[in-house]
Amino acid sequence: MVGSGAMGSALKTYRKIKDIVDNFPWIRAATYLAGSVAGLLVLNINLPTEWQIDISSTEVQISAWVLMICIYFMLASIFSSARLREEMKLRELEQNYKYDSRGTLFNGAEANIAFRVVTFQKILESISEGINENKASELLRAAGNKASEDFSKNFDSIYQQDVVAKRGGKSWDDLTLSEKLSQWAEYDSATGWGMLTTRLNKKTSELSLVVTHLYGLYQGSGGKLFGWFLAGYIETIVGSIVDSHVGGKFHEYSKAEFNSINERDEAYILELEFKLR
């Protein structure tokens, strides 16, 4: 138990440090540069004497400092640009939402509805009262399967109308399977249940999805129930996208398998694994 707790604490600390590094380009640049310099120094020490660089030389030290400063600012610029592109993408997604004069909220052409996170969690908790946890998770997952049926069947036309027609780009039928999954992930990342990222391993036919929400959506019993609902929701969409993909490796796909759902210490990460057959 002590070892498990220590490992959990270390993992939590690692994730916090990683979040800081990822979110601050200048810290990320310094981290990459420091790691590279340390590696080069170790390599230099272990080289044969005749190949080693004399780092005690003043000229070498000055040249090294100038080079490191230039590399640092170059890395900071690259990471800042990537961060800026991400922020611009988020603003574009936000601009896709609008209200009409009757109080209807639209995401593109699709009518939507908004709840406070706490309100939504309480709704799920009240629905599951008197039902054991395993049964509740099964029911919520099945509800998620059913809830996304219409969206999954019509996402190709939604993509054409809300993405291609407004911003340009490839038509749905011209996208690869990986691109289709990424476009769906980007579209559904604007719905409020978190940022969704997908990673498709073509060699093993495995699809990994991570949903990140920073304001407690998956905390508590209501949050965990929503996690199971979302697992079913995603399962149906992934199945539809892969099953309808023409050509390529996955055109004989049968179904997606939901393998695991892990609520991390911070309770805002939802991880899903699918085996595509």
Q: What is the pLDDT of residues 222-271, one digit of tens each?
A: 888 888 888 889 989 988 888 888 655 554 445 666 666 665 555 567 78
3 state DSSP class of 171: coil
8 Å CB contact between 144 and 235: yes
What architecture is domain 116-275? 2-Layer Sandwich (3.30)
Reading phi first (left if > 0) and then psi (alpha if -120 to 50, else beta), residue 194 is in left
**Which DSSP helix (H) or strand (E) runs through 122?**
helix 117-127
The answer, yes or no, to whether residue 195 has pLDDT greater than 80, is yes
C-alpha span between 181 and 277 (Å, rounded)? 16
Encoded amino acid at 45, one letter: I
What residues pair up with 200 in beta bridges, in sequence order? 207
Residue 184 pLDDT = 92
Residue 2 pLDDT = 40
C-alpha span between 275 and 257 (Å, rounded)? 6
User: Mind listing the pLDDT tens digit for each residue in 119-164?
Assistant: 888 888 888 888 888 888 888 889 999 999 999 999 999 888 877 8
pLDDT above 90 as % of the chain: 6
Domain ranges of the chain: 2-95, 116-275
**Mean pLDDT over residues 98-106, rounded?**
73
